Amino acid sequence: MTFSPARLVDRRALVTGGSRGIGRAIVERFAAEGATVAINYASREEEARTALEAARAASRDAGYGERPHLITRADMSDLSAVDAMLKSVIDALGRLDILVNNAGIQQELAGDSPDPKGLEHVLGVNLVGAVHCSQLAIRHFLSRKGGGAIINTSSVHQIIPKPGFIGYSVSKGGLANLTRTLALEFADRGIRVNAVAPGAILTDMNDSWRNDPKKKADVERHIPMGRAGTPEEMAAVFAFLASDDASYITGQTIFACGGLTLFGDFKHNWST
């Protein structure tokens, strides 16, 4: 196992969409740095149980013994389920110090094909659930000493348009303002709100290309660093932002994307 600093000892964290992909890597990294983690999922309980076992192993391997990590089912687009989840997680863990709004779905939605249900669903999971969960967490942070940290999983599509995916693009643009607005509102009360914006990461979300060498090479051709990223590379950034190493950082989005936001087409001077 790679070395992880002990920056989250005794912190209690909730990671939405923590059962697979980037969320699961965050869960393992937080556990390896000393945190106790509640792992949210929507439907695949088996995957959540596997993530729970991985978190337990990460705590043990890092010398923290048996930590009371838990799994918690809630569809982030169902706000009453989110209410119940926050209450049960805080009851079980004793308090909450870190919220990671990571649950997300990516669905095609063309700009000229209105689909109210599809739009409501993607915005509900990716954005509205995150707003509501943040408000609940902040109310809790303010109710006891110690402040808190929120980290939102955004995307390079926070700033790079994604034609054909209007709901996804709007949701990630919304997360940028969620991050900045809450950061400003609570900056003087010990609460930091930041975001990580991944590029192309090797998770189930990219099953359309990640296991096909030709399609993968086509994707990686567009990435200045020449390769897709790993969930573990994302988790390292979340752990930094959750920790006191980032104690003077709020309202920021870190683009962890291998240079995707550097406008790679401009590397060779075609415009002069």
* Binding region for ligand NAP (CB under 6 A): 16-17, 19-23, 40-44, 47, 75-77, 102-106, 125, 153, 155, 198, 200-201, 203-206
168 is catalytic: yes
Residue 4 or 152: the one with the smaller Cβ distance to ligand NAP is 152
Residue 14 or 22: the one with the smaller Cβ distance to ligand NAP is 22
Minimum gap (Å) between residue 248 Cβ and ligand NAP: 26
Minimum gap (Å) between residue 41 Cβ and ligand NAP: 4
**Which backbone phi and psi does 120 adopt, to 5 degrees?**
-60, -40
Minimum gap (Å) between residue 147 Cβ and ligand NAP: 24
185-195: string of b/e by CB count within 10 Å (b at 16+)? ebeeeebbbbb
Minimum gap (Å) between residue 124 Cβ and ligand NAP: 8
Residue 212 or 244: the one with the smaller Cβ distance to ligand NAP is 212
Residue 7 or 44: the one with the smaller Cβ distance to ligand NAP is 44
**Looking at the annotation, which residues are catalytic?**
168
